[in-house]
Structure 1
Amino acid sequence: MRRGDVDLHAQTCGDHGGPAVVLLHGLGGWYGEWTRTAAALAPRRQVVAFDQRGHGLSTTRPVETSRGAHAADVVAVLDALGVARATLVGQSAGGHTALVTAATYPDRVERLVLVEAAVGGGDLTGHQATIEWFRSWPASIASADELADLLGSTADVAATWWDGLASAPNGRRPRWDLSVLEAVLTGIGHREHWDEWDAVRCPTALVRGTRSAIPDAQVARMLQRSGVTLHRVEAGHDLHLENPSSWLDTFETVLSI
């Protein structure tokens, strides 16, 4: 679909008369990260996964990279599909998008599931390290094994990332533009978005890895609000890819609360 100057690539599956779930990937990711999750949900729910602006098959170099633009994209996808309200599930940067969407468009969000995600802000040195890591990616990656070494991940996790890369003469290459990733991360990291968090009114689940990248202090403050639950998965930051079975069990628990 098209919104302004941006094409948004979305995939849908499942019961189109059932409750809707929107799946939002993290920085540098793509909608295919959620393939296993979508398949598990499809028998009972309408599932939507899309490449956020600057990622995947959506417009790679959008002019606007603000948090507000990302949230408006979510609502535009819902509108295009005729979905009035949805559960938003976001990992890392996608979780921040889900949070801002729930705060800005409360009537459109039934439930919020933040997977290794919180209110942003934090250590600018850490954000710069993230960008430098993305900068270290070669122009062409020869194989999924090479990508696994780059990610420091298992073959299964690397295979999912590999499938999201574009073809290159000697292998595959990232689809994202580094300047866009940096702009997105700056929007998330320049402050802690507590005003947005305080504006959220829907039930919210925090799903953390046991090797979480999310500050404990932020999680503790988030849990002070009523209607917020905390769940743990034995994994790191990409817990939906690192331990998909435990993630899916946890997610089913969240949806049944």
Structure 2
Amino acid sequence: MKTAKILFLLLLLGTMPHLTAQKQAKYADRGDALIYYEVSGQGKPVVILHGGLGNIDGYTSLADSLKKAHKVIAISFRGHNRSTLGNRPYSFGLFAEDIIAVLDNEKERKASVVGFSDGGVTAYCLAALYPQRIDRIISLAGCFRYSDYKPEGVNWIKTVTGKDRLGADASPNDLARMDSLITYMRPLWQTEVYLSKEAAATIQSPTLIIGGDKDFFFETACFEEAHCTIPNSELVILPNTGHNLNQPEIIHKHIVPFLKE
């Protein structure tokens, strides 16, 4: 089994010419799954977590902005991008365990976390479940529960397909892999509670919550509740802004300064 995993890693790493000498591609072995991540920069560690069905390739500008002062660890959730699906039921607690395994792999005792959407939920879980391992967190469009979703968001969760995400021109293999991932993710999204308010209220890490007032999935009340629940938190509601908060002006105006405090 170990030999097969090593061969798998070598094959994947051999197909990544876009990675420069300054960016290291690595894996954390979780037994049932291999968690892919990339490391760049030096300094106090910051973890980047993408959204559901996304991947770390879309966060290059964020990583580039942070690596000037931080060791950036961009992690692909299990089943996403180059991480393998595994065979355990998905939960945000499991995702948090995977992130801690990556920090252990990197021999990092403590790190800050920037998470978008599902990554924002995972950031909350990390701060609540592993307080001694988490410094600061930034949650971009994260929520606490399934009922936080607007009706159109609930419909998206129930109906999204691999073709919707990748387009009709995607290869059959890519479509099949995305559909398999959605099969794992849909029960996760439909879990009644991702993190209880009681658990969220124990978070002591300095927390920045950012949401858009035109988010497709969530009302601003979702972000306001998180701010009222988490003691040491700041809230930024961006006007005329949707769900996508991975934008240069947000990175430089809010994320970079908060991590410097």
TM-score band w.r.t. shorter chain = 0.7 to 0.9
Q: Call closer, same or farther: CA 1:174–1:229 in 2, change over 3 Å.
A: farther
Equivalent position to 1:129, from 155, 160, 171: 155
Tell me, in whole angstroms, the C-alpha distance in 2 between the residues paired with 1:76 and 1:191: 20
Structure 1 residues 53 and 8 mapped into 2: Cα distance closer, same or farther (>3 Å)?
same
- The aligned length equals 228
Residue 19 of structure 2 aligns with which residue? Answer: none
Partner of 1:216: 220
Displacement of 1:140 in angstroms is: 6.5
Deviation at residue 40 of structure 1 after TM alignment: 0.8
- Measure the CA separation in 1 of the matches of 2:223 and 2:102: 29
Return the structure number with greater relative CO, CA threshold 8 A, min gap 6. 1
Counterpart-to-counterpart distance in 2, 1:138 and 1:228: 35
Q: Distance in 2 between matches of 1:123 and 1:19?
A: 33
Contact 1:116-1:207 within 8 A present in 2 as well = yes
1:63-78 → structure 2 map (5 Å cutoff): 63-78=88-103
- 1:55–1:175: 8 Å Cα contact kept in structure 2? no
Do the aligned residues in 2 keep the contact of 1:211 with 1:235 (CA within 8 Å)?
yes
CA distance in 2, matches of 1:58, 1:235: 30
Contact in 1 for aligned 2:125/2:195 (Cα 8 Å): no
Q: Secondary structure at the match of 1:20?
A: strand
Write the distance in 1 (CA, Å) between the matches of 2:159 and 2:252.
29
Distance 1:228 1:140 in 2: 36
Q: SS of the residue aligned with 1:122?
A: helix
RMSD between aligned residues = 2.5
- What stretches of structure 1 of length at least 5 have no aligned partner? 144-166
Deviations 1:66-109 (A, max 9, x none): 22211110100000001111111111111111111111110000
Contact 2:141/2:223, CA 8 A, preserved across alignment = no
Q: Distance in 2 between matches of 1:140 and 1:78?
A: 31
CA distance in 2, matches of 1:218, 1:49: 26
Match of 1:95 in 2: 120
Cross-structure match for 2:33:
6
Contact 2:79–2:85 (8 Å) recurs in 1: yes
Q: Per-residue CA shift, 1:30-81, capped at 9, x if unaligned?
A: 1112111001111110001111012111113532312221111010000000
Query: Is 1:239 equivalent to 2:239 in the alignment?
Result: no
In the alignment, is the contact (CA less than 8 A) between 1:51 and 1:58 conserved in 2? yes
Using the alignment, how far apart are the partners of 1:9 and 1:231 within structure 2? Answer: 31
Shift of 1:110: 0.2
SS of equivalent to 1:112: strand
Which residue of 44, 51, 59 corresponds with 1:19? 44
What residue number does 1:109 align with? Answer: 134
2:252 equivalent to 1:248: yes
Q: 8 Å contact 2:136–2:205 — kept in the other structure?
A: yes
- Report percent identity of matched pairs: 25
Q: Is the 8 A contact 2:49 2:75 kept in 1?
A: yes
Does the CA-based 8 Å contact 2:142-2:223 persist in structure 1?
Answer: no
Q: Secondary structure at the match of 1:46?
A: strand
- Residue 212 of structure 2 aligns with an amino acid whose one-letter code is G
Question: Quick one: which amino acid aligns to residue 241 of structure 2?
Answer: A
Which whole-Å CA distance do the structure 2 matches of 1:54 and 1:47 have between them? 21
The alignment partner of 2:167 has SS state of coil
**How far 1:191 sits from its partner (Å)?**
5.9
For 1:228, which of 221, 224, 233 is the aligned residue? 233
- Judged with a 3 Å threshold, the aligned counterparts in structure 2 of structure 1 residues 168 and 139 are, in CA distance, closer, same or farther, namely farther
TM-score, normalization: structure 2? 0.78
Alpha-carbon distance in 2 for matches of 1:175, 1:136: 8
Deviation string for 1:154-173 (max 9, x for gaps)?
xxxxxxxxxxxxx626x964
Whole-Å separation in 1 of the counterparts to 2:52 and 2:67: 25
Task: Indicate whether 1:196 and 2:199 are aligned.
Answer: yes
Mapped to 1, the partners of 2:224 and 2:30 lie a distance apart of 37
